[in-house]
Structure 1
């Protein structure tokens, strides 16, 4: 049989599974990503293909993960109903301004001090493993448009995932600069701070807000020529790609731009329009299909030598990252928050790692040479796998428990 016939049949089956699996596992402590990884591992083991190694195809890995992340970020921005007020978003500010830098610093110290990695690779590891993932966090994120303001846990995790993927980029560039110049401060330090930190962040926010606002005008305030009148969901992809490309052209962070663009689009039509829902639903369907494809490939890579370099020190490092560094940094960042302590604990625990981690690692690998990079790939794959399994089996239970506690407290107050 022709290979392309097998590919079409397999891809069609994958699309059907995207729709069907969530129904099958609705009452089970499983998630769609876990099933995808299992399918990929089983398929490649059965085919005896030896697995696909993402480290061997950094450019392809970078493009596929980049596409998935930007669609996910745009969708996350579209589904947030909460107003853009500091009083609402201050916990997000704590997670981005305190928790994330602490996480990067702690992972970098672990990499250099415990794993004996060069500082450039250790910093890269911190940048790669610090961001929470917008693609795999569906269970702990806010609902679609028109579901109303989210609780603090879901809003914090959604908004953190929406922005920290872009905010990991300055530290990726820092790792690249250290790889090229060493750890001694010099002219490169000033360039990194002014260009890679200040300019790229500001440019990403500005590009996202302006283009999101303009998109909103074209969709909702152009009379009979409005894009909303077409009812076409794929407009979401067009707006996302234009926003991302525009931000990158002015050397801004496109990841930040697409999330901010989704938020800005909502502000032009604050009351949820049916077209908001259409745009969100189309983005979510494409995101889920891409996510499922990537995770099947990730599962396939596990059937090969991806984790052959896994040692007990790497297992210990992965456990420390997931069970100590992220939860502790989260609790430190949220110290003084009005959020109840149990909610702070849930936000701190559910720092899901995933697709974004592979993107940054592939991006840096294609741009420069890093000592001990195979160790970084192995540890990243291990952390992502454990995160998907651990958070995927507990997220639904944790959020159901939290909702039950909140409902119980509401009934008590009403009585």
Structure 2
């Protein structure tokens, strides 16, 4: 039944996609709401629990696909040239968001400091997938799009060690295995760089060449190989995915270009499937977090990220409009879903409460951010900001200037 529901919703999303690109209608919100309606929270047509292997597997694959395609949008040179602003967001914005969110979880929800810090770490990563109209709008300043892309791709992996450390402390483990965590992260980056580099160099030899028909599958094969080796060696899959995307973009621009559209479609399919499943997990009892829980979720979206970004980008040279866009678009997505499921499966005392508040915040984020991306994107559409007579006046002024030019 799940496959049938996904196929019908996918067809509906395709038919409504043109309208969604012009209005606040969101396909992400459509799949989330449909999952809730079809799940045990309403009709009970699609019955899933958080313990089902499908849930964690799909969320993991969706996040991997999204990070791989995100990383492929920038090569190493692009990343170096654009690192100044993402560095502020990651070096200052991420820990500040974590701390501010944790303070809210402690005082509003009554969680202990470790559990509150765990919630902060889970909700600190951002996901621009739900702000696609902003990231994909060419009239939005390139540095702003790069900032959101680079930040979201890197902060998922950077937040993971905090999640694991706080989770280990909450479980009562005093042996945090920091060396193992460092090895996992480093191994993920190594796999993400080495595997694509070797594959691309192999194709560039005189013994091999990809046909035009199979060329889009080259990057897909690389991504699958990175995923397989990462799982076999227990390297961090998310850092491996983003590193692999950057490596392909750096050393294989032809592979990136041939895979770009195909890869985005694959990531979109995984994203929508994960949202459908996540929506099916939501029940009225899961959303019953009281007014404090909903107040916390709202504060995590409209206060924690904006305050952290405002502090992080003091004297950074961003316009007020750019800074407001960055502050608002800190949507919570797949990384937070995966980390929340990790906590739920851990069996710690506050596991259910942590998962509930994380789920409520993610639901609110998806509904708010995916419905406002097109609105904020239009802030940067200069033609929309100008009065209708401006275009005529500009053409008249241009014609006059040309007439006044001296003949050569």
State how far apart, in whole Å, the 2-side matches of 1:372 and 1:337 are.
Answer: 39
State how far apart, in whole Å, the 1-side matches of 2:48 and 2:132 are.
Answer: 26
Match 1:34 to one of 20, 25, 29: 29
Partner of 1:240: 223
Deviation at 1:384, TM superposition (A): 1.1
Deviation at 1:180, TM superposition (A): 3.5
Is the 8 Å Cα contact of residues 72 and 246 (structure 2) preserved in structure 1? yes
State how far apart, in whole Å, the 2-side matches of 1:47 and 1:104 are.
Answer: 34
Correspondence list, 1:404-415, <5 A: 404=382
* Alpha-carbon distance change, 260 to 8 in structure 1, aligned in 2, over 3 angstroms: closer
Is the 8 Å Cα contact of residues 118 and 162 (structure 2) preserved in structure 1? yes
Unmatched segments (≥5 aa) in structure 2: 399-408
State how far apart, in whole Å, the 1-side matches of 2:237 and 2:39 are.
Answer: 34
Q: How many residues align?
A: 390
Match 2:372 to one of 394, 398, 401: 394
Is the 8 Å Cα contact of residues 131 and 353 (structure 1) preserved in structure 2? yes
Unmatched segments (≥5 aa) in structure 1: 1-5
* Alpha-carbon distance change, 48 to 249 in structure 1, aligned in 2, over 3 angstroms: closer
Greater displacement, 232-241 / 99-108: 232-241
Supply the RMSD in Å over aligned alpha carbons.
3.1
Q: Deviations over 1:67-108 (max 9, x none)?
A: 000001111111236833544221111111111111112222
Structure 1 position 339 matched with structure 2 position 318: yes
Structure 1 position 164 matched with structure 2 position 148: no
Deviation at 1:47, TM superposition (A): 7.2
Correspondence list, 1:378-389, <5 A: 378-389=356-367
Structure 1 position 204 matched with structure 2 position 188: yes
* Alpha-carbon distance change, 223 to 229 in structure 1, aligned in 2, over 3 angstroms: farther
Correspondence list, 1:134-173, <5 A: 134-142=128-136, 151-173=142-164
Deviation at 1:328, TM superposition (A): 0.7
Match 1:215 to one of 199, 205, 208: 199
Is the 8 Å Cα contact of residues 99 and 120 (structure 2) preserved in structure 1? yes
Partner of 1:256: 239
Is the 8 Å Cα contact of residues 36 and 295 (structure 1) preserved in structure 2? yes
State how far apart, in whole Å, the 2-side matches of 1:35 and 1:279 are.
Answer: 27
Deviation at 1:160, TM superposition (A): 1.0
Partner of 1:329: 308
State how far apart, in whole Å, the 2-side matches of 1:46 and 1:23 are.
Answer: 30
Structure 1 position 94 matched with structure 2 position 70: no
Larger CA Rg, structure 1 vs 2: 2
* Alpha-carbon distance change, 369 to 142 in structure 1, aligned in 2, over 3 angstroms: same
Report the TM-score, using the length of structure 2 for normalisation: 0.85
